Amino acid sequence: MDELQEKGSPKSVILKELKNRLQKDLTYNSGKNLGSMCAYPHPFAKQIYAEFIEKNLGDPGLFPATAEFEKEVVQMIGSLLSHPEAVGHIVSGGTEANILAMWAARNQGNKERHEIVAPESVHLSIEKSADLLNLRLIKVKLDDSFRMNLEEAKRKISAKTCAIIGVAGTTGLGVVDPIAELSEVAVSNNIPLHVDAAFGGFVLTFLKELGFNVPDFDFQLQGVSSITVDPHKMGLAPIPAGGIVFRNPTTMKAVAKRVTYLAGGETDQTTLLGTRPGASCIAVWALLKHLGRDGYRSRVKRCMDLTIELADEIEKIEGIGLVARPTLNMAGIESREVKVEALAGELRKRGWAIALFPGYIRIVVMPHTRFGHIEDFVKDLKNTVKKLRGR
Ligand code: 0PR
């Protein structure tokens, strides 16, 4: 048990202990982390973050310049998602972004509307939202390509539905739900469609520009009312930096609470948190300005090229296969011959940090992943499968 000491220790002693003990944490550049949707933050963003650490977006009157940067970040993200007039916030992550979207949708609808309709592949944060907001989460089965089954979704939508949720880059496999079709359903039923592009938001548009065949998912589609898009995933920003963008200010204002006593003057808070890290937001602003579309596009291309190489190698290994050809920079490994839990266990013993979902292993190819890391992984994967098949 640790306790707060009466007298402080010298910085050098503390630093030494921190460095020693933190060695236990896997680093991104070890190449062994193939299971995380986060990346080592871009060094420029890290520098900016440290420089403006004291900014608090919870009191925008006290930090008016920081608040302006937040507006501009949202506009830049909005422009990436085909709607520069978007409003929203840089928040703590995809979870908070999804909670905000559900909160706004619930408050905007009438009292009878207390159900949300989402695919089985939806992220846990939507379950948390339903729990917190007293909404009933109605899950829709997936089709053969692991996308939300459209016909079932239509059947489950009713006068009680306050939001439909589609995922653009599912947590497990990175697939994109039929957002264009869901948008039509949303428009004809006058229900907001929330798109969870926490991971896919910083990938899909660039893939499209690179000539990949990816479906539409953003504000181009009239029914899309809000989008979650996380700078701390493929946006390369320091944690915490999630993003929520709304098509209309009125949707966001549905959660507004007036705060009258702040040092910077009265404000309408439209976030879950009060005190919020302005440094995160300023770092995202700086990074978007620094990398530009071109910087992100080239990183996305590298990740996708590597993912395709990995996918091709997985397909060559006897005894295992891909759950689906990758849409994004993620791949799912399944097997009819060996237990994926055993396979994951063996790979983890060899130091690989990989995610294990029911029935498959998820690999995420992030900007810190190099060709050599994939080569090493494939080698271990081959040997492990061989060993397990031999039993
Ligand atoms: N929406 C989707 C589609 C997600 O995949 C995630 C998280 C969220 C929302 C929630 O985002 P926050 O975690 O920012 O609140 N997806 C990652 C996952 O579950 C989160 C993560 C990232 C977990 C890095 C572990 C890790 O090492 O895989």
Place of tokens 């011959």: 337
CA triplet 375, 377, 378: central angle to 5 degrees? Answer: 65
Residue 66 has pLDDT above 90, yes or no: yes
- Please give the mean pLDDT across all residues of the chain: 97
Q: For 127-154, what is the mean pLDDT?
A: 98
Q: Which residues line ligand 1 (CB under 6 A)?
A: 36-38, 93-95, 98, 123, 125, 167, 171, 196, 198-199, 230, 242
Residue 26 has pLDDT above 80, yes or no: yes
Ligand 1 atom nearest the C-alpha of 96 is: 15
Between the CA of 355 and the centroid of ligand 1 the distance, in Å, is 11
Q: Residue 174: count other Cβ atoms within 10 Å of its Cβ.
A: 26
Ligand 1 atom nearest the C-alpha of 94 is: 11
DSSP-H helix ranges across the chain: 11-22, 43-51, 64-80, 94-108, 124-133, 150-156, 179-189, 204-209, 249-253, 278-316, 340-349, 371-390
136: left (phi over 0), alpha (psi -120 to 50) or beta: beta
Judge contact between 147 and 119, C-beta under 8 A. Answer: yes
Q: What is the 3-state secondary structure (H, E, C) of 202-244?
A: HCHHHHHHCCCCCCCCCCCCCCEEEEECCCCCCCCCCCCCEEE
Residue 109 pLDDT = 87
Between the CA of 171 and the centroid of ligand 1 the distance, in Å, is 7
Q: For 37-41, what is the mean pLDDT?
A: 95
Residue 111 has pLDDT above 90, yes or no: no
Between the CA of 129 and the centroid of ligand 1 the distance, in Å, is 15
CA triplet 188, 192, 193: central angle to 5 degrees? Answer: 95
Ligand 1 atom nearest the C-alpha of 242 is: 14
Between the CA of 5 and the centroid of ligand 1 the distance, in Å, is 36
Residue 364 pLDDT = 98
Between the CA of 172 and the centroid of ligand 1 the distance, in Å, is 10
Q: For 351-366, what is the mean pLDDT?
A: 98
User: pLDDT confidence of 73, banded at 50, 70, 90?
Assistant: very high
Q: pLDDT tens digit string along 337-352?
A: 999 999 999 999 999 9
Closest C-alpha to ligand 1, atom 27? 36
Q: How far is CA 256 from CA 137, 193, 248, in A?
A: 24, 20, 14
9: left (phi over 0), alpha (psi -120 to 50) or beta: beta
Between the CA of 244 and the centroid of ligand 1 the distance, in Å, is 14
Q: How far apart (Å, rounded) are the C-alpha atoms in residues 60 and 218? A: 29
- From 25, 32, 125, 368, the mutation candidate for ligand 1 (largest count of ligand atoms within 8 A of CB) is 125
Q: For 155-159, what is the mean pLDDT?
A: 97
Q: For 191-214, what is the mean pLDDT?
A: 98
Report the half-sphere exposure of 316 (CA within 13 A, side-chain side). 10
Question: CB within 8 A of 13, min separation 6: which ones?
Answer: none
Q: pLDDT tens digit string along 300-325?
A: 999 999 999 999 999 999 999 999 99
What percent of the chain is predicted at pLDDT more than 70? 100
Closest C-alpha to ligand 1, atom 11? 94
Residue 44 has pLDDT above 90, yes or no: yes
Between the CA of 231 and the centroid of ligand 1 the distance, in Å, is 12
| β pairing state of 161-167 and 193-196 | parallel
Judge contact between 332 and 382, C-beta under 8 A. Answer: no
Between the CA of 389 and the centroid of ligand 1 the distance, in Å, is 33
Judge contact between 173 and 125, C-beta under 8 A. Answer: no
Q: pLDDT tens digit string along 164-201?
A: 999 999 999 999 999 999 999 999 999 999 999 999 99
- From 102, 124, 148, 171, the mutation candidate for ligand 1 (largest count of ligand atoms within 8 A of CB) is 171
Q: pLDDT tens digit string along 245-258?
A: 999 999 999 999 99
| β pairing state of 224-228 and 242-246 | antiparallel
Residue 110 pLDDT = 86
Q: How far apart (Å, rounded) are the C-alpha atoms in residues 352 and 383? A: 14
Residue 1 pLDDT = 85
Ligand 1 atom nearest the C-alpha of 95 is: 15
| This prediction's pTM | 0.98
The three-class DSSP label of residue 90 is strand
Closest C-alpha to ligand 1, atom 19? 171
User: pLDDT confidence of 122, banded at 50, 70, 90?
Assistant: very high
Q: pLDDT tens digit string along 262-283?
A: 999 999 999 999 999 999 999 9
Between the CA of 391 and the centroid of ligand 1 the distance, in Å, is 35
Residue 391 pLDDT = 64
Q: How far apart (Å, rounded) are the C-alpha atoms in residues 90 and 237? A: 11
Nearest to 291 by CA among 102, 93, 42: 42
Between the CA of 164 and the centroid of ligand 1 the distance, in Å, is 20
Place of tokens 């202990």: 17
Residue 34 pLDDT = 98
